[in-house]
Amino acid sequence: MTVLVEAIGVTKHFPVKAGSLFRRTTLALRAVDDVALRIEAGETLGLVGESGCGKSTLGRLLIRLLEPSSGNIFFDGKDISDLAGKALRNQRRAMQIIFQDPFGALNPRMTVEDIIAEPRLIHGARADAATRQAVTQMLELVGLPERARDRYPHEFSGGQRQRIGIARALVLRPRFVVCDEPVSALDVSVQAQIVNLLQDLQAELGLTYLFIAHDLGVVKHISTRVAVMYLGKVVELAEKRALYTAPRHPYTQGLIAAVPVSHPLARQRRERITGDIPSALHPPSGCRFHTRCPYAMPICREQEPKTTQPVPGHQVACHLVGDG
Ligand code: SF4
């Protein structure tokens, strides 16, 4: 398999002002800390974790919508970490994002045609027959009728608006798409339709996805592999089947215990996670999960666990898990 996107030591700290007017200090909100991962061409890497764990920030870093504080990002073997200006704009054609809130992401004063055509115009295409044809193709691909082009976002349902958002993200024919919680704001009945559409488009257009969600139930269907994030760190990454059937990290085990299952016999005896995720302004020492981990040991408070591979392709950062 070819690696399309790679992050090495990627870190993003946001400066935050704190204290009184006279004793103002600047703290670092450690949204993403020293993350390394690879996304293979044609796969869907699911990225899960609670709100505030840094998963959306990581998605935006990978497509350079945010500047990393340190670390390197590679796309198709090329280091894109320091790209700027025209070179970055050109690179962006290959890397797009689908947002969580389709209504908030679409300009209410633009017609669907203008919304979908806009990325092409920003990248130098003309508002001509070719752009009109590109919009027609995208409407067809995402399952919207031709007559939708002259209408406005408020005239559509949530699922249809997300289809417009997907058409806009794909009109430049990117290779890599960050799907940032694309179904979280939709009714459960519509979620499966959008997930299926994304899968069909992946097969048809040869796309590679990073699919972000806050619960493991949503990413199970679509992902090839799944990465679990906690407080700015990737704590476990594995093939989907291995992660769901034999999770190694206590946090992943807790997330799986929280996924609703219909049959009582299918419920596994796993510890559920209690308490709230700590602030990324003051992450706990050692293993960041130690304040909520049912298996925490003294070493967990002092020493950050290294990422190990108990079996090939299964990465875990926990003192309980050693290399295989
Ligand atoms: Fe729990 Fe310690 Fe493993 Fe962290 S390193 S997940 S605190 S056992």
Contact at 8 Å (CB) between 178 and 92? no
In whole angstroms, how large is the CA radius of gyration of the chain?
A: 21
What are 228-254's pLDDT values in tens digits?
999 999 999 999 999 999 999 999 999
Q: Residue 312 Cα, ligand 1 centroid: separation in angstroms?
A: 21
Q: Residue 10 Cα, ligand 1 centroid: separation in angstroms?
A: 22
What are 220-229's pLDDT values in tens digits?
889 999 999 9
- CA 189, 214, 194: angle at the middle one, nearest 5? 30
- Regarding the beta carbon of 231 and ligand 1, being less than 6 Å apart is answered no
- Regarding the beta carbon of 172 and ligand 1, being less than 6 Å apart is answered no
**Strand, helix or coil at 292?**
coil
Neighbouring-strand partners of residue 12: 32
Which is the closest atom of ligand 1 to the Cα of 321? 3
Going from the C-alpha of 307 to that of each of 30, 35, 101, the distances in angstroms are 19, 11, 34
What is the band of 271 on the pLDDT scale with cuts at 50, 70, 90? low
Q: Determine the residue of 291, 297, 316 to mutate for testing ligand 1's pocket, defined as the one with the most ligand atoms within 8 A of the Cβ atom.
A: 297
- Mean pLDDT, the chain, rounded, equals 92
- Regarding the beta carbon of 295 and ligand 1, being less than 6 Å apart is answered yes
- Range in 34-38, 190-194, 212-216 with the lowest mean pLDDT: 212-216
> pTM for the whole thing?
0.93
- Regarding the beta carbon of 8 and ligand 1, being less than 6 Å apart is answered no
- Regarding the beta carbon of 286 and ligand 1, being less than 6 Å apart is answered no
Which residue's CA lies nearest to atom 7 of ligand 1?
Answer: 290
Residue 163's nearest CA partner among 193, 142, 140, 145 is 142
What are 175-207's pLDDT values in tens digits?
999 999 999 889 888 999 999 999 999 999 999
What is the band of 17 on the pLDDT scale with cuts at 50, 70, 90? confident
Provide the phi-psi class of 164: left if phi over 0, else alpha when psi is between -120 and 50, else beta: alpha
Ordered alpha helix ranges (H), the chain: 55-62, 85-92, 102-105, 112-122, 129-142, 158-170, 188-205, 216-222, 240-245, 250-258, 298-302
What is the band of 269 on the pLDDT scale with cuts at 50, 70, 90? low
- Regarding the beta carbon of 317 and ligand 1, being less than 6 Å apart is answered no
Report d(CA 304, CA 52) in Å as an integer: 20
Q: Residue 288 Cα, ligand 1 centroid: separation in angstroms?
A: 8
Position of tokens 């958002």?
A: 165
What are 107-163's pLDDT values in tens digits?
999 999 999 999 999 999 998 999 999 999 999 999 999 999 999 999 999 999 999
- Regarding the beta carbon of 301 and ligand 1, being less than 6 Å apart is answered no
Residue 272 has pLDDT above 80, yes or no: no
Provide the phi-psi class of 173: left if phi over 0, else alpha when psi is between -120 and 50, else beta: left
